[in-house]
Structure 1
């Protein structure tokens, strides 16, 4: 008669306790802020810049188109007569748009073209900075990459800071330098990254071409 190995019976209470202990261990090793959110900072930061680039491209295209239209047509805006509303003829939608956006004509359009070009340059350069800071192109800022990037932007870095706070700091730095068109500070930050060995990679160039296209 063959002997069968004894079957170990785990009480339900012990199984539940083991399960809870394992869950607590996982939460300790991988805090909730990091679970499934390793790429949160990269994704949120680049998305924030990308939205501004889209707006800047539209504004620049409008100004550039109207400068060309004013130049080719040689038109000046019609005189304003008090109490009489002026509406353009149905020559084209472009004429309507340009005269509405730039009531003083070519000078208005040229000034806006210079402004929108400068702003687009800042947003595109900041996007390049964000890509370069992801040194190995894995769409994730490692702790070292994040530390280097924050310091290059004259921001403090603390290991214990939660992801949302770090994302907010990066977005606020972008917004501040974008509004002031602080290209000097941005280029200094890029120089700091280069001194640490960061470079524009072929993958970065492909992404920049896509965004600029």
Structure 2
């Protein structure tokens, strides 16, 4: 018998990681009555400006996307975009440990160690520390793929993203995912960029074809206690 998910914590470095990686699944789980909390470590795109002055705040976009997907609780921190490697690991571990303690999730979603983005790797490591056995309520941990980060990792010598868990979705979940992605404005690129709407839909179709369904999102299931 499969364990029923009740409370999901999503741990990410950047606003839009949650939508690109698991937006359709989040929408489905919210519809199914799962309570969902999102913790984002950065709140702008500061790494895109050489001076660090012309940055775009993302807090309002994160909150709009969360509302579209059905996320009820959002925590946004102000660490530097693409500068998480300048923060002590213990500090970041404690951020997610506090989230686990306060929200008491039974399930944790985060980014993959296969991602080219160092921020994503750091978040994945810290989230796994917070969700380790015997230290909290987490019984299941999944890592998701983020277009243009996960699909560039292998060419850089990182481990390949190897999904072993698929969530079938219907068209309404994919439309919600795309609507949430639009909340991030310029983060949506033009085709054939993998972050384009067509690229996002194409990945959902491909992952669906792997399990003979119209659409799906794929995950690396790291641990599941039934």
Quickly name the TM-score band, shorter chain normalised. Answer: under 0.3
Given the two structures, how large is their TM-score scaled by the length of structure 2? 0.24
**Is the strand fraction higher in 1 or 2?**
2
Give the TM-score taking structure 1 as reference length. Answer: 0.25
* Structure of larger gyration radius: 1
